[in-house]
Amino acid sequence: MPEISLPRHLGGHHHHDHSHEHERGGVEPPEYAPPLVELARGGLTESLHRGAVAVCTADGKRQRGLGHPAMPTFLRSAAKPLQVLPLLTSGAAEAFGLSDAELACMCGSLGGEDFHVAAVTGALAKAGLGPELLNCGVHRPSHGPTAKALEAAGQKPRPVHNNCAGKHAAMLILCKHLGLPTDGYDKPSHPVQRLVMQSVAEWCRYPIEQIGVGVDGCGVPVFRLPLVALAGAYARLADPGRSGLDVARIAAAERLMAACLANPLMIAGNGRLCTRLMQAAPGKLLAKTGAEGSYAVALPELGLGLAIKIEDGNMRAVAPTVCQALHCLGVLSHDALEDDLADLARPKLANHRGEQVAELRPVFNL
Amino acid sequence: MPEISLPRHLGGHHHHDHSHEHERGGVEPPEYAPPLVELARGGLTESLHRGAVAVCTADGKRQRGLGHPAMPTFLRSAAKPLQVLPLLTSGAAEAFGLSDAELACMCGSLGGEDFHVAAVTGALAKAGLGPELLNCGVHRPSHGPTAKALEAAGQKPRPVHNNCAGKHAAMLILCKHLGLPTDGYDKPSHPVQRLVMQSVAEWCRYPIEQIGVGVDGCGVPVFRLPLVALAGAYARLADPGRSGLDVARIAAAERLMAACLANPLMIAGNGRLCTRLMQAAPGKLLAKTGAEGSYAVALPELGLGLAIKIEDGNMRAVAPTVCQALHCLGVLSHDALEDDLADLARPKLANHRGEQVAELRPVFNL
């Protein structure tokens, strides 16, 4: 079943191809990765971000790409839509009458804005649950004005402001629907986490026993697969009918994609990368960030999935990379990159005197 | 005179050696850079920081190294001791009776602590100058408690709290000594900046017309050279008698090194990387950070200079790299890396629930 071979690319400049890799999570980082983005100071390269880009169709065929397709990639938050799908296939979403906005917020890395908090709290309430059950930890809301408003009101950030609050709400609601205890829902051994991991394996079409597992920023299991498997999963979200999966899964993906495409603000928030990309090409893409330089985009009109891993994990390279990749795929125009999205496509860096002294710019084509 | 050839390393896995490179700053980033540090999550590589390490003797010979010796490197703040040397060779330091602590603070990237502010202000006062002349811009002091104390006192950070305040003070004092206007002292065309750039070229033993120039975080010119040239400069600081330079320059380097070695807190500040390394091996090294992953160490007992460039510019990889390099050179013991310096040598990363879920660790030997 694994159509994706796992070549190791080790040992200096020699290639050793192994079509099977039986160790759990045993994919090795490639020895070489091509430059994707440079930081130029005074017009001269100062730093270089390498990585890999993979573009797939729903049958898992790599259509375009750069760098090693098997680049090992912890999906991080780019896995969220895949982690949420069991909520739909189980019938929980329908049983509790969850709205499109509520489903979208579960797939998002949320800025903690008031409407995010309302969507998370509202979804939990439909299942008779409260936000006190969220065990995702606490961080300052990513949305600056919201963080400042909380501070001004003398309030501390709560778990419901965590960027993963929606995903955790989905897991809790799934517990409720299946009659499972919510206690320990975040532990790898909890049945809900097993369902979630099965969903990731199915949509990535990757053997579950070969998925590498770690702990995510929000405490739940996080999954490491070859980059091309993430691109394949997003291609299947974009074009579920060609996913080869059963009708229940196809219907679930269709509903979830429609929910996300209709609610760009629920995928990230005002002014943030994923939301701005979705607003720049309305209805044409679901763009989803992960941490440590992982990123994925589902492109329904093209029937393609795009996945990116910045090898060094630096998020500053993600926006220029995804903008350039979407430009190469014909999704974002040259004008859009030069105009509305210029601060994402080629961010300028200012020094302590406010002078623009450097910029980040893509150095690749697909 | 350029003993350092500038091989380009382009075109996949082939080497093309060119012994001369006539374009200003025309050194190209190498196509390949070896992994130095990995971020491991759940024991599996999540991200990888590549780069180059060069170890030289004062005659410019590379003694050890990893990656491309000509890795183009904006020296950033690792240039500070070289930028300060004209203050000594010109006689200004003697004329104004500058103390060792004052000279050291000019070489440091300061945390803005009270004793840093006092040293900068004191040095300026000896030349009849005031801190209002500092044109380095403003940022929150790097030393957290100092930043909080300022805030609690209702004060805004001032230029004298900038990490580059000492270096700027050195430039202003040099103006005063040479009878030059302080106005525009930070501009590339000002005679003081020409003297500073000449000093960088001399100590790096690199043709001045081939040095790449940009604007630094603090507004003054910043220099791009092959990494091995930075290692050579620090070897000459470590062992000035073998630098091949004249007696005035040798004496200047001896005085400056003694001043720095005696004042680790003036090179960075309490709890910060450079200071902690210098405190861990008292009198044995001058350790100096730059921005964007540049770093240099002068090792007087060994007569060596060590220079590091993290290709992607991420500062999180610097401490594990420099600790490992110093361990390979026999300067830091295995016990020191496992004990006092463990948080620098292998930093643990916690998630939003405070659980340690990942670590940074070196993946190279010299």
**ipTM of predicted assembly, 2 dp:** 0.92
**Which of A230, A252, A250 is closest to A309 using CA atoms?**
A230
Instruction: Name residue B274's amino acid.
Output: C
Q: To which H or E segment does residue A109 belong?
A: none
Residue A30 banded pLDDT, cuts 50, 70, 90 = confident
Taking the C-alpha atoms of residue B330 and residue A151, their distance in angstroms, rounded to an integer, is: 49
Q: How far is A139 from chain B (nearest CA, A)?
A: 6
Q: To which H or E segment does residue A36 belong?
A: strand A35-41
- Please tell me the predicted confidence (pLDDT) of residue B4: 31
Alpha helix (H) ranges present in B51-143?
A: 80-89, 92-95, 100-107, 114-126
Residue A44 tokens, joined = 């001269």
**Each residue's pLDDT expressed in tens, for chain B with a length of 366 residues:** 333 333 333 223 333 333 344 344 556 778 899 999 999 999 999 999 999 999 999 999 999 999 999 999 999 999 999 999 999 999 999 999 999 999 999 999 999 999 999 999 999 999 999 999 999 999 999 999 999 999 999 999 999 999 999 999 999 999 999 999 999 999 999 999 999 999 999 999 999 999 999 999 999 999 999 999 999 999 999 999 999 999 999 999 999 999 999 999 999 999 999 999 999 999 999 999 999 999 999 999 999 999 999 999 999 999 999 999 999 999 999 999 999 999 999 999 999 999 999 999 999 999
Residue B197 tokens, joined = 């750039």
Asked whether A59 and B43 are in contact (CB, 8 A), the reply is: no
Q: Angle at Cα B176 formed by Cα B171 and Cα B181, nearest 5°?
A: 85
Domain parsing of chain A, residue ranges:
35-362
- Please tell me the predicted confidence (pLDDT) of residue A31: 87
Half-sphere exposure of A72 (CA within 13 A, CB side): 30
Residue B172 tokens, joined = 């202003």
Instruction: Name residue A218's amino acid.
Output: C
Taking the C-alpha atoms of residue B21 and residue B206, their distance in angstroms, rounded to an integer, is: 12
**Mutation choice for A interface testing from B21, B47, B216, B360 by most A CBs within 10 A:** B47
pLDDT in tens, B238-282: 999 999 999 999 999 999 999 999 999 999 999 999 999 999 999
Q: Cα dihedral sign for A329, A335, A340, A343? A: positive
Q: What is the mean pLDDT of residues A246-264?
A: 98
Whether residues B214 and A162 touch (CB distance < 8 A) is answered with no
Q: How far is A116 from chain B (nearest CA, A)?
A: 19
pLDDT in tens, A148-201: 999 999 999 999 999 999 999 999 999 999 999 999 999 999 999 999 999 999
Whether residues A44 and B74 touch (CB distance < 8 A) is answered with yes
Provide, as residue numbers in chain B, all residues whose Cβ is less than 8 Å from the Cβ of A135.
Answer: 353
Instruction: Name residue B205's amino acid.
Output: R
Whether residues A214 and B138 touch (CB distance < 8 A) is answered with no
- Please tell me the predicted confidence (pLDDT) of residue B87: 98
Q: What is the mean pLDDT of residues A204-228?
A: 97
Taking the C-alpha atoms of residue A266 and residue A102, their distance in angstroms, rounded to an integer, is: 8
Which residue in this structure is represented by tokens 């992607």? B312
Q: How far is A104 from chain B (nearest CA, A)?
A: 23
Q: Angle at Cα B50 formed by Cα B31 and Cα A56, nearest 5°?
A: 70
Q: How far is A134 from chain B (nearest CA, A)?
A: 12
Q: Angle at Cα A188 formed by Cα A183 and Cα A192, nearest 5°?
A: 60
Cβ neighbours around A148 below 10 Å, total: 12
Q: Is A194 exposed, middle or buried (0-12, 13-18, 19+ CB in 10 A)?
A: middle
Residue B167: helix, strand or coil by DSSP? helix
Residue B210: helix, strand or coil by DSSP? helix
Provide, as residue numbers in chain A, all residues whose Cβ is less than 8 Å from the Cβ of B42.
Answer: 25, 212-215, 222, 224
Provide, as residue numbers in chain A, all residues whose Cβ is less than 8 Å from the Cβ of B156.
Answer: none
Q: Both ends of chain B: CA-CA distance in Å?
A: 28
Taking the C-alpha atoms of residue A27 and residue A210, their distance in angstroms, rounded to an integer, is: 9
**Which of A37, A46, A34 is closest to A363 using CA atoms?**
A37
Q: Please report, for residues A58, A234, A250, A266, the alpha-carbon distance to residue A246 in angstroms, rounded to integers and kept in the order given.
A: 14, 17, 6, 28
Whether residues A137 and B354 touch (CB distance < 8 A) is answered with yes
- Please tell me the predicted confidence (pLDDT) of residue B31: 87
Residue A20 tokens, joined = 């099977």
**Which of B361, B336, B360, B328 is closest to B276 using CA atoms?**
B336
- Please tell me the predicted confidence (pLDDT) of residue B22: 39
**How confident is the prediction for chain A on average, in pLDDT?**
92
**Which of A310, A309, A267 is closest to A286 using CA atoms?**
A267
> CB neighbours of A194 closer than 8 A, spacing ≥ 6?
none
- Please tell me the predicted confidence (pLDDT) of residue A312: 98
Asked whether the predicted pLDDT for residue A288 surpasses 80, the reply is: yes
**A&B contacts, CB < 8 Å:** 153
φ and ψ of A305, to 5 deg: -120, 140
Provide, as residue numbers in chain A, all residues whose Cβ is less than 8 Å from the Cβ of B162.
Answer: 352
Half-sphere exposure of B195 (CA within 13 A, CB side): 19
pLDDT in tens, B47-100: 999 999 999 999 999 999 999 999 999 999 999 999 999 999 999 999 999 999
Residue A145 banded pLDDT, cuts 50, 70, 90 = very high
Could you tell me which CATH number the domain at A35-362 has? Answer: 3.40.710
Half-sphere exposure of A9 (CA within 13 A, CB side): 16
DSSP strand pairing (A304-310 vs A294-299): antiparallel
Instruction: Name residue B84's amino acid.
Output: V
- Residues A95-132 as b/e (b if ≥16 CB within 10 A, e otherwise) read ebebebbbbbbbbbbbbbbeebbebbbebbebbebebe
Provide, as residue numbers in chain B, all residues whose Cβ is less than 8 Å from the Cβ of A39.
Answer: 292, 313
Q: How far is A186 from chain B (nearest CA, A)?
A: 12
Asked whether B196 and B206 are in contact (CB, 8 A), the reply is: no
Whether residues B47 and A311 touch (CB distance < 8 A) is answered with yes
- Please tell me the predicted confidence (pLDDT) of residue B27: 64
Taking the C-alpha atoms of residue B191 and residue B186, their distance in angstroms, rounded to an integer, is: 10
Asked whether B54 and B227 are in contact (CB, 8 A), the reply is: yes
- Residues A171-181 as b/e (b if ≥16 CB within 10 A, e otherwise) read bbbbbbbeebe
- Please tell me the predicted confidence (pLDDT) of residue B326: 98
- Please tell me the predicted confidence (pLDDT) of residue A25: 52
Percent of chain A residues past pLDDT 70, beyond the cut: 93
**Which of B248, B197, B163 is closest to B82 using CA atoms?**
B197
**Which of A145, A158, A141, A109 is closest to A286 using CA atoms?**
A109
Asked whether A116 and A269 are in contact (CB, 8 A), the reply is: yes
**DSSP for residue A208:** G
Q: Angle at Cα A230 formed by Cα A229 and Cα A232, nearest 5°?
A: 65
pLDDT in tens, A79-115: 999 999 999 999 999 999 999 999 999 999 999 999 9
Residue A49: helix, strand or coil by DSSP? strand
Q: Long-range contacts: B208-213, Cβ < 8 Å, 24+?
A: B209/B24, B210/B2, B210/B21, B210/B22, B210/B23, B210/B24, B210/B25, B210/B26, B211/B24, B211/B25, B212/A42, B212/A44, B212/B24, B212/B25, B212/B26, B212/B27, B212/B72, B212/B74, B213/A42, B213/B24, B213/B25, B213/B188
Taking the C-alpha atoms of residue A342 and residue A87, their distance in angstroms, rounded to an integer, is: 37
